[in-house]
Amino acid sequence: MSGLRILVVDDSDMARLHAERMVSQLGHQPVSVASGEEALAVLERETFDLVLCDLVMPGMDGLELLQLVRSRGWEVPFILMTAHATVESAVEALRAGADDYLPRPLDVQLLAHRLESVIQRRQLQESREQQKQLEAVLATAGAAAHEMNQPLTTLLASAEFIARVEEPARIKALAATIAEQARRLGQVTRQLAQVVRYQTKPYLDGREILDLEASSRKEDKSSPE
């Protein structure tokens, strides 16, 4: 957990400097601002590993900043600090989307522990998201293999048979089969390119694969060719 980039938000110059020093002491990089408005502006243009924010500030307070951050879909870990810690304020902060809550004055060991806990939880969440993405990729690959296997087998068999026959009528029928299966492969390719949602269907051995028909955007049949 080395080298985190942490945004410190506090309207008190002395408290902000104290928090900066602690963050630096723990081996991280602090960037500090004096208001919620400034913090929001910085978060719009820069990326941080964590926000360490005072709860009580003039103008936009810590809870308001937290709510705006979450409403914009920013998942940056957020820890609120206050000198007036109560069970009620802690519950309110967590309900608003805070990852943790710290009493003031800050204790360096407690800060280190909370930072580590927050980052570990985030890493676990990211690991789960990556697992979900991997499962989606595997399901998509399984669907593509399933949908393409039959036409490819038919194409190969038809091509091999053409090489052995001399009857024009039979060759014509095999050519029609090849064209039909090629169109089927083209349809599968278009569906893969138009996947807009993740919906699965049962497959072999209890596995799930992507349901191409249900997951792809429907083509507009009324549009001109």
Mean pLDDT of the chain: 80
With respect to residue 145, please indicate whether it lies within any of the assigned structural domains.
yes
- Please say if the pLDDT value at position 185 is more than 70: yes
Give Cα separations from 170 to 68, 105, 120 (angstroms): 70, 89, 66
Identify whether residues 101 and 17 lie together within a single domain: yes
Q: Which domain holds residue 186?
A: 131-215
Q: Which of 54, 89, 106 is the endpoint of a domain?
A: 106
What CATH number corresponds to the domain at position 23?
3.40.50.2300
Contacts 24+ apart (CB under 8 A), 182-188: 182/151, 182/155, 184/151, 185/148, 185/151, 185/152, 188/144, 188/147, 188/148, 188/151, 188/212
- Output the pLDDT for position 199: 77
Domain count across the chain: 2
Identify whether residues 136 and 99 lie together within a single domain: no
Give Cα separations from 38 to 35, 55, 109 (angstroms): 5, 15, 28
Residue 38's pLDDT band (boundaries 50, 70, 90)? very high
| Between residues 35 and 75, the one the model is more confident about | 35
Residue 222's pLDDT band (boundaries 50, 70, 90)? very low
Q: Tens of pLDDT along 68-87?
A: 999 999 989 999 998 775 56
Please answer whether residues 94 and 118 qualify as being in contact, where contact means their C-beta atoms are separated by less than 8 angstroms.
Answer: no
Q: Tens of pLDDT along 130-153?
A: 777 666 665 665 666 567 666 767
- Please say if the pLDDT value at position 225 is more than 70: no
**Which residues sit opposite 102 in a β-bridge?**
81
With respect to residue 125, please indicate whether it lies within any of the assigned structural domains.
no
User: CA 61 to CA 147: how far, in whole Å?
Assistant: 55
- Please say if the pLDDT value at position 13 is more than 90: yes
User: CA 9 to CA 40: how far, in whole Å?
Assistant: 10
With respect to residue 184, please indicate whether it lies within any of the assigned structural domains.
yes
Identify whether residues 142 and 201 lie together within a single domain: yes
| 108-162 vs 13-25: helix crossing angle, rounded to 10 | 60
Identify whether residues 95 and 27 lie together within a single domain: yes
- Output the pLDDT for position 220: 45
Q: Tens of pLDDT along 42-59?
A: 999 999 999 999 998 999
User: CA 97 to CA 169: how far, in whole Å?
Assistant: 71
With respect to residue 123, please indicate whether it lies within any of the assigned structural domains.
no
Rounded average pLDDT over 163-186: 78
Rounded average pLDDT over 122-133: 74
